[in-house]
Structure 1
């Protein structure tokens, strides 16, 4: 019995070794043809839609709101009354200013009458002095009369100045009353209303926003953040398309209007009073780009999140291979055999993880008619992340390059 068990173990070992050292089946390669076409390069960025011109309407007058005449989504025209502030106090100020103006005018009339009397008195004294040969009246009396006329002239000038001051005060009160009627500064759509009738509005250094009005939503702008690695490729005038979650699968056209020179972190730091170094430390640096968007159908709304694809470059007709073909490395005979004699089976080659840079020399594997592989050297060019432009003397359009190996059926 012992010999039978020993013989069975030897037989199993022989069968195992024979299976491991046997000829492995040929791999089933995944291939892709070498294409001859142009490659469009693009930059992807995310941002939000905004009105081209958004106006915040405030109040310059303090008082309770008598009426609010518009609501969110209402269309308004420039100069249209949208709210009215109570003017009782302002009307009292206007009445006071008018009374002061009338009093100043009366004071001017009185001063003018006084100067006329004093001028007649001075003329009479001068005539008597001429007729008497300078004996009468005395010099002091004449000087007193002259001083009275000068004083009257000053009173007239003061009265006129008081009239101008009263008129200015009245004009200011009238202007304030005009500003109590709040009008739309632009033609557009009301995006936000932040007040209700009866609410008291307090005019201060920081004007309280009552309404937000967007001017002409048929033309909007898309502001996106461009990564610092891509900002050098984006320029004004480049065409773009973008999508929004509200309309899946639909693309909207846009055009790059400008790219900010300062990073987003620098702009935020300037607004908050900090330094650019502190704002960008430890964070991703990005630059804001503004894209013009036409919205004739009115489908797009302010605040929508959009993903834009900006066409930055077109390579023209060139040979293109999948990036997977540049990373593929064929297995050696030992790796293909596997088994107990190949303990590293399934480990990836470290070279396969190396990045493929522009201008580098790489090898692609071309599948021959007899099923064998032929290594062809290529020089890489620009890439869109899926395909790469290559140049090579041994590679021709239409050739099948290997991108991988199909998994064996279980």
Structure 2
């Protein structure tokens, strides 16, 4: 364009005042035609399009869901005291292994032993009163029979018979009262014995002591908010992993799904697990809804400890053999070709056509993969299957292993 400009400048300079006006008009027209031709040629060349692509591969695809949670004992029991009193002995400490019924701590039982003795004496007295009432009832029964015989013969007065009958009825009632009193006394004795038994805090399960807050001399108050004195865990060779599943993933989680998880204590080790339960109850934290899933874990070497934070990878689907494309290929669609329109009028419109705007892009429907064939994009309809978030297993005629699936494009002027 520089040489042409120089020549045109020379022509203009050479056309002096002595030249005719038509020469200058011809020169101006030539300049306009040359400029229009250069501009149209440049626009027609268009930008150079470069396609980014990845090869279509064939293989297996595993779909997983990631969740975090904590390792917990399968069985955990918090122990408090059913009685109020003072601890006089603590017989278990952290990490001690205990068996069912083993003594962990004891309260001062002076008062409860006295209550047992008092209840025992009450039972003895009630039994004696019952025997006394039964003896009286036997005596009045014999008297009543005798009075019945005399009354039938008309030997005794009617008034005496009525008095004897009333005495007999009272003696029978006294026996029933004595029996009820004996029942109450025996029940009180059982309560006193239970309190005496509860003054000794025993292990309800076989396990290990996770925590202990009991101290000798500590005063324990029995209430709804009684302090936890011991926390016991059951067999730690089998544990649970409780993880929070996002609500977007909960539909793919089911009991029986296999999983692996890692803990910070052993960064290079992966532990196997399996989902045993998916709970329906939601848990909301900062407006984020999650659902609790419980995974069973084998811990034969005791490496895992209660409370460890774990990151679990749960396998929700497996595809053994399929064509696999990147997800970006399902989101790609090439733009439509640009269209020209002559928007001017007259001579200028004929010389310099105005290029119309580019058309809208083809909408990506997630069911088409565009592949490069001879340097041009070609649409391949596919049926998408399982996806791991980065790749998707697809099926479709025409798509083959090794095809260059277009994921993006860029244009250079």
Shorter-chain TM-score: what band? 0.7 to 0.9
Equivalent residue, structure 2, for 1:346? none
Q: Does 1:84 align with 2:106?
A: yes
Deviation of residue 242 (structure 1)?
0.9
User: Which of 34, 49, 60 in structure 1 is aligned with 2:56?
Assistant: 34
Closer, same or farther in 2 for the Cα pair 1:176/1:357, shift >3 Å?
farther
Closer, same or farther in 2 for the Cα pair 1:391/1:112, shift >3 Å?
closer
Query: Equivalences for 1:243-392 in 2 at 5 Å?
Result: 243-265=262-284, 283-323=287-327, 358=366, 360-365=367-372, 373-378=375-380, 379=382, 381-382=384-385, 383-391=387-395
Larger radius of gyration, structure 1 or 2? 2
Q: Is the 1:65–1:196 Cα contact (8 Å) retained in structure 2?
A: yes
Deviation of residue 249 (structure 1)?
2.3
Give the aligned length: 348
Equivalent residue, structure 1, for 2:82? 60
Instruction: Kindly report the root-mean-square deviation, in angstroms, between the aligned alpha carbons of the 2 structures.
Output: 3.8
| 3-state SS of paired residue (1:248) | strand
Q: Does 1:69 align with 2:100?
A: no
> 1: CA distance between counterparts of 2:322 and 2:142?
107
| 3-state SS of paired residue (1:302) | coil
Equivalent residue, structure 2, for 1:134? 154
| 3-state SS of paired residue (1:261) | strand
User: Which of 100, 103, 111 in structure 1 is aligned with 2:125?
Assistant: 103
Closer, same or farther in 2 for the Cα pair 1:285/1:120, shift >3 Å?
closer
| 3-state SS of paired residue (2:268) | coil
Query: Equivalences for 1:127-276 in 2 at 5 Å?
Result: 134-135=154-155, 137-265=156-284
Q: Is the 1:55–1:213 Cα contact (8 Å) retained in structure 2?
A: yes
Deviation of residue 62 (structure 1)?
1.8
Gaps of 5+ in 1: 1-20, 266-279, 332-349, 406-410
Q: Render the CA deviation track for 1:348-393: whole Å, top value 9, x for unaligned.
A: xx979x9x775x3242447x7xxxx442434372432332334455
> 1: CA distance between counterparts of 2:398 and 2:304?
51
Q: Render the CA deviation track for 1:95-147: whole Å, top value 9, x for unaligned.
A: 111221222222223333434444455556566667xx534x42222322332
Q: Which moved more, 1:311-320 or 1:36-45?
A: 311-320
Q: Is the 2:241–2:294 Cα contact (8 Å) retained in structure 1?
A: yes
Deviation of residue 301 (structure 1)?
1.3
With normalisation by structure 1, the TM-score equals 0.72
Q: Render the CA deviation track for 1:26-78: whole Å, top value 9, x for unaligned.
A: 99998754321011111111111111121222221221112121122211111
Deviation of residue 219 (structure 1)?
1.2
Equivalent residue, structure 1, for 2:32? none
Closer, same or farther in 2 for the Cα pair 1:202/1:404, shift >3 Å?
same
Q: Is the 1:263–1:288 Cα contact (8 Å) retained in structure 2?
A: yes
Q: Is the 1:328–1:364 Cα contact (8 Å) retained in structure 2?
A: no
Deviation of residue 284 (structure 1)?
1.9
Closer, same or farther in 2 for the Cα pair 1:384/1:351, shift >3 Å?
farther
With normalisation by structure 2, the TM-score equals 0.72
